[in-house]
Amino acid sequence: MQVYLVGGAVRDHLLGHPYHEKDYVVVGATPEQLLSEGYQPVGKDFPVFLHPKTKEEYALARTERKSGMGYHGFQFFTDTTVKLEEDLIRRDLTINAMAMDDSGKVYDPYGGQKDLDHKILRHVSDAFTEDPLRVLRVARFAARYASYGFRIADETLQLMKDIAQSGELNALTPERVWKETSRALMEDHADLYFQTLKDCDALKILFPEIDALFGVPQRPEYHPEIDCGIHTLMALKQACVANYPLEVRFAVLVHDLGKALTPVDELPRHILHEERGIQPVTEISDRLKIPTYLKNLALIVCKEHLKCHQVKNLKPGTLWRLLQRLDVLRRPEKVLAFVQACECDAKGRLGLEDRPYPQAQYVLDAMEIVRNIRAQDLPDHIQGAEIGEMLIQYRIEALAKFKERHAE
């Protein structure tokens, strides 16, 4: 029985990129052997085991054959006769098709180290087209390793286009699409994930609401980049630069979906795009089955982001109602996420990336003002239903004074 470290851990070890997960392949063993040594079985489609101490995954070397649509449409074969090279050739990219033994010796039958040196994402074999999930994985790798200068090989990008045109992407489950996408959103160059999907014709299949933004013009005095799709990716890039959390990045991604629904005779203006965006944001959130808290933030950013840009001009009562809709008293973290997303929208514009966004601090200061006015601060004679009404009055009055101070 021979054990090898495989896949991402080997790749990142050679690249000097931080990694945490380790996967192993076991050659020349049977399930019974691993069970006898205390390994715990976890694989459903093929034998995968957890190490009794480290709980890291150990998979028996296997070959596979396409037997149906989608990434589940495979038959796997494991046997003591399966060689390491046979296991590695079924992997997606050459840089993921390397193995390392416990002495540190690297096994690289398909040129992974050469592609690693030349910063190329290249498929291992034509079997790449058998698994549609690989389109998303390669796009995610493009986002992850962009800072190292990696690019997708032309022939690999063509295979990704072939998959998109084959209809296989439709076999991917929403859960799997979101799992890959949520991971990609947290990469330093998440915008390149979506750009790559567009380049291989997959964006219009998996994210038609986002794809529809490309080619839609905006007023150049507000958006020098003009194109709505380009603006969306520029705004997402700002969220990555600021290292904002997932909920902010998703909200930024979908904040302008309503602009794709603007009537042609109204372009390049986008009146009411905030309201028009509610439906597509809801549809993409429901289709991908994303967590409710992500959907809720995305919806309010879509609907209210212009108010954040104009917040210093809002009347105190209008500002209070905005803060109420953001659940300011119970969820101050939602207010913070909201202003972060709005800041990315403001800075995601050609030549305006470094423009200050004082509106963010203005909203956060207003939040602290209203949160610091509590029932115990009211006169003793205020009782019952009057308490809620008086609290609102006090908060609006405090916001009025706050607005006056900023006007001075």
Q: Are 98 and 108 in contact (CB under 8 A)?
A: yes
Closest among 25, 54, 52, 53 to 40, alpha carbons compared: 52
Contacts of 101 (CB under 8 A, 6+ apart): 2, 3, 4, 5, 107
Residues annotated within a binding site for CTP = 8, 11, 91, 137, 140
**Binding residue ranges for Mg(2+):** 21, 23
**Residue whose structure tokens are 């709005």:** 342
**Where is the binding site, in residues?**
8, 11, 21, 23, 91, 137, 140
